[in-house]
Every structure is written in structure tokens, then in C-alpha cells.
């Protein structure tokens, strides 16, 4: 049965041809996974995403050559385009003339001009966006929160994420720049739910971009995302969404279709039961995008899921990240983390680097580390070690 949802009274933010917030329909977004400098491929994917129903399409720009390619991409697609600012926030001067929205991550602002006040950097971003008629998305991720906030608000990361977002809203408001959207993301849907609820309670006027970052491979990634979206959107929170899935390039439009399907189910009153995310093996992986240095990352994520299936009953999180931007920080909270470079994969246990391994060799070492964690957990719970009659899970190497 269709349900009526009383949306939060957020202000409307114009992004190209659409409105986000202000009572407008919830917009579905996605991101190109092609190399931005490959103009033909990026234009083709942007159009593919747009035709699949993406109201906004994001493109990664990480260099001067990417920015030059963006100018040509803009001429050849009618998609509403948004670009991420990575560590170099000043590149906004190169990209703002060609896009409808710019996203900055407060946790990345400290990389450049480290002695310059954050408020001054935000002022530069806001003024440049305003001069070019761009909207902004201020996007905070639990895995890359500004180090100052992590120090001030220790714990599960939610307080640090929310406080950072609120403070940046105040900076933008003082500057008189109100054409902005906020996102608060994590790979754990429970943190996404709690973070967005806390923020919306304080700033119900600010449009929210919802997403579970590094949701992973389908169908698990869709399930995790659905958990967050069902609880938030049904309570009136959320104005635009992205389903972040680990997919090969030709299948990126599946993110868009999944987003529309979830929205249709929510408004149709079709809420699906989901597994308890509080127990069992949890594999998170970032969505494929143009920052991925080796497309073998997607195949690696698939293989990680296959070879670790024997550990599904153990409370262990494995993170598979595809680039240097998100890899180092986003894997810190996982029990085991892999972040992928051009020719090797960095294997971590929490924030400790175990080593860098070739793609062909890292799976064997991952399994060794996984078995070690399982054995330690069994010993701690009184199950005993392997010599004491430890029960080896099916498929596990012994």
C-alpha cells in the first residue's frame, strides 16, 4: 500500500536542470567509473547514466589534464555534472566553469596549505562556486573525517562526522552561501542512519544527500543501502541518493536502477526484511570510479567474497578499497583491509600495514590473516586453538 511521507522542510538547491530539496522529488545520482581523460568513454558513460535515470552524474578530477578533459566532456553531455575536489581544493577554479555542482570533503582540506585556516579555504571554494553559478555538496565521510574532529570527538566517528558537518554549515552560512547540500556517509548503514538523524534534528533546513559509502558488491551492497534509505526516507530525511556499488564499468547504470527501485518500494510501502548486520562476516568495498588505478580491483573484490565465504559466521569486517584517496583511511576501521594501487595491493590489519602484495598473491596472504583472526577469536571465547581441537570452518585452509 502506498504511504505518505512528510519530508523535512529543506530549502531547494538548484543543480543544473533539477532542484534538490524544497519538496522536489528525491533525485538519484551516480558516478562515472571511466578515466576522465578518456573523453569518449566518459561522455558515453555519463549519457548512459543519465538515460538510466541519473539526475546528477559525478566525474572525478584529480589533475590539470582531468580538468582540461572535463571542459570537453561538458560540451558533449547534457547530464547535470558534479565534480569532487580531492586534496587540492584550489582546482575548483579549473572545474567550476564546466559543472553544476562541486563536492568538497572537509577531511581533505588539510592536505594543501596546512597552516591556512580551514574557514579561509571554504571561503575560496564558496566564492569560486558562486562566481560560476555552482552549487556545493559538503560531504563528510566517517573514514576521512578532519583529524582535528577525530581528536576532539573520539569514539565511533558519528559525533565527529556530525559536528564537522554542522560547523561547515555555519561557515557557509556566515559567508552568505546557502546553495549547498550535505552528505554524511559511512560503510555501516547504522552509522549513516544515526548520523543523518542527528544532523537533520539540528538542521532540518539543509538538503541531505544519502548514501552508504563503499556499500560493496550486489546484492549485499544494495541490501545495506536499502537498510539506511528505508529508515531515513520513511521518516522524511533525504533529498537525493546514491547507491554506491562495486561494479565493472559497463554495469554502472545498475546503481541508478537500484536507487529508483528502492525509492519505488519505499513509497509503495514495500519494506523488505533484511539480515541482522550486527553479526557475521561483513565485506565492504568502494564503488568503482575513475580514481581506481587498476580495474582488476573489481575482480579482486569478487574473489575476496568467494574465498572468505567459509568465515561468514564470524564477526569480521574486510574492506576492499580501489584507490589511494579512500584506501588508507577507509580501511583503518576494518579488521582486514585491502587498498589497491596500480600494480600491488596494500594489506592491512586495522591501521597496521602488513605489506604490499601483487594482485595474484594477495588473496593467499589475506586468507592466512583471516584464519589467524578466527583462531584468535576462538581462543578468546574458549573454543581453543587448532591443537586443542579447534573446529575448522568448511573450506578453510588448515
For 291-303, the pLDDT digits (tens) are 777 888 889 999 9
pLDDT at 143: 81
Domain match, 191 and 259 both: yes
Read off the pLDDT band of 59 (50, 70, 90). very high
The domain of 57 spans 13-267
Domain match, 101 and 204 both: yes
For 192-229, the pLDDT digits (tens) are 999 999 999 999 999 999 999 888 899 999 999 999 99
Residues 87, 297: Cα–Cα separation, whole Å: 22
Answer for the pair 43, 77: CB distance below 8 angstroms, yes or no: yes
Average pLDDT value for residue range 233-245: 96
Answer for the pair 71, 78: CB distance below 8 angstroms, yes or no: no
Q: Would residue 256 count as lying in a domain?
A: yes
Answer for the pair 32, 49: CB distance below 8 angstroms, yes or no: yes
Read off the pLDDT band of 308 (50, 70, 90). very high
Domain match, 101 and 220 both: yes
pLDDT at 326: 65
pLDDT at 236: 95
Domain match, 210 and 90 both: yes
Residue matched to cell numbers 596494500 = 346
For 253-283, the pLDDT digits (tens) are 999 999 999 999 999 888 764 444 567 898 8
Q: What is the CATH number of the domain that holds 379?
A: 3.30.413.10
How many domains are there within the chain? 2
Read off the pLDDT band of 139 (50, 70, 90). very high
- From 251, 267, 283, the end of a domain falls on 267
For 316-351, the pLDDT digits (tens) are 989 888 887 767 777 887 899 998 988 999 999 988
- From 252, 267, 282, the end of a domain falls on 267
pLDDT at 1: 54
What lies within 8 Å, CB to CB, of 222 at 6+ separation is: 215, 243, 245, 258, 262
Average pLDDT value for residue range 350-355: 91
Q: Would residue 135 count as lying in a domain?
A: yes
Domain match, 210 and 170 both: yes
Domain match, 211 and 250 both: yes
Read off the pLDDT band of 162 (50, 70, 90). very high
Domain match, 204 and 60 both: yes
In Å, what is the CA distance from 392 to each residue of 56, 110, 374, 382? 48, 46, 9, 15
Residues 145, 105: Cα–Cα separation, whole Å: 8
Q: Would residue 285 count as lying in a domain?
A: no
Q: What is the CATH number of the domain that holds 252?
A: 3.20.20.20
In Å, what is the CA distance from 394 to each residue of 283, 381, 384? 19, 20, 17
Average pLDDT, the chain: 90
396 pLDDT more than 70: no
Domain match, 262 and 305 both: no
Average pLDDT value for residue range 238-244: 97
Q: Would residue 277 count as lying in a domain?
A: no
Grid cell listed for 387: 591443537
Residues 389, 357: Cα–Cα separation, whole Å: 32
- From 234, 267, 300, the end of a domain falls on 267
Domain match, 127 and 227 both: yes
Q: Would residue 394 count as lying in a domain?
A: no
pLDDT at 289: 74
Amino acid at each position: 500500500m502506498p504511504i505518505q511521507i512528510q519530508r523535512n522542510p529543506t530549502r531547494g538547491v538548484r543543480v543544473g536542470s533539477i532542484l534538490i530539496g524544497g519538496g522536489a522529488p528525491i533525485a538519484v545520482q551516480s558516478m562515472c567509473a571511466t578515466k576522465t581523460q578518456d573523453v569518449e568513454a566518459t561522455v558515453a558513460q555519463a549519457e548512459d547514466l543519465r538515460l538510466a535515470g541519473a539526475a546528477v552524474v559525478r566525474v572525478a578530477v584529480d589533475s590539470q589534464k582531468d580538468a582540461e578533459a572535463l571542459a570537453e566532456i561538458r560540451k558533449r553531455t547534457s547530464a547535470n555534472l558534479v565534480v569532487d575536489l580531492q586534496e587540492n581544493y584550489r582546482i575548483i577554479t579549473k572545474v567550476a566553469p564546466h559543472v553544476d555542482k562541486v563536492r568538497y570533503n572537509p577531511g581533505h582540506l588539510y592536505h594543501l596549505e596546512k597552516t591556512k585556516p580551514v574557514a579561509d579555504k571554504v571561503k575560496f571554494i564558496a566564492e569560486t562556486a558562486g562566481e560560476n553559478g555552482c552549487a556545493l555538496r559538503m560531504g563528510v565521510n566517517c573514514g576521512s573525517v578532519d583529524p582535528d574532529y577525530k581528536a576532539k570527538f573520539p569514539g565511533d566517528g558519528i559525533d565527529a562526522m556530525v559536528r564537522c558537518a554542522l560547523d561547515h554549515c555555519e561557515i557557509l552560512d556566515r559567508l552568505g552561501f546557502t546553495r549547498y547540500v550535505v552528505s554524511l556517509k559511512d560503510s555501516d548503514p547504522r552509522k549513516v542512519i544515526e548520523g543523518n538523524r542527528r544532523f537533520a534534528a539540528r538542521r532540518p533546513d539543509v538538503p541531505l544527500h544519502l548514501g552508504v559509502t563503499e556499500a560493496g558488491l550486489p546484492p549485499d551492497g544494495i541490501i545495506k543501502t536499502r537498510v539506511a534509505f528505508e529508515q531515513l526516507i520513511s521518516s522524511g530525511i533525504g533529498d537525493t541518493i546514491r547507491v554506491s556499488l562495486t561494479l565493472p564499468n559497463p554495469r554502472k547504470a545498475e546503481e541508478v536502477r537500484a536507487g529508483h527501485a528502492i525509492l519505488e518500494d519505499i513509497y509503495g510501502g514495500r519494506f523488505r526484511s533484511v539480515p541482522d548486520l550486527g553479526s557475521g562476516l561483513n565485506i565492504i568495498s568502494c564503488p568503482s570510479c575513475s580514481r581506481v588505478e587498476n580495474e582488476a580491483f573489481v575482480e579482486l573484490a569478487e574473489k575476496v567474497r568467494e574465498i572468505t565465504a567459509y568465515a561468514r559466521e564470524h564477526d569480521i569486517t574486510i574492506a576492499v578499497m580501489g584507490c589511494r584517496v579512500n584506501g588508507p583511511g577507509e580501511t583503518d576501521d576494518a579488521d582486514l583491509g585491502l587498498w589497491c594501487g596500480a600494480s600491488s595491493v596494500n594489506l592491512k590489519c586495522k591501521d597496521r600495514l602488513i605489506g604490499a602484495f601483487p594482485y595474484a598473491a594477495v588473496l593467499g596472504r589475506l586468507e592466512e590473516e583471516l584464519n589467524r583472526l578466527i583462531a584468535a577469536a576462538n581462543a578468546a571465547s574458549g573454543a581453543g586453538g587448532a591443537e586443542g581441537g579447534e573446529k575448522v570452518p568448511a573450506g578453510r585452509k588448515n
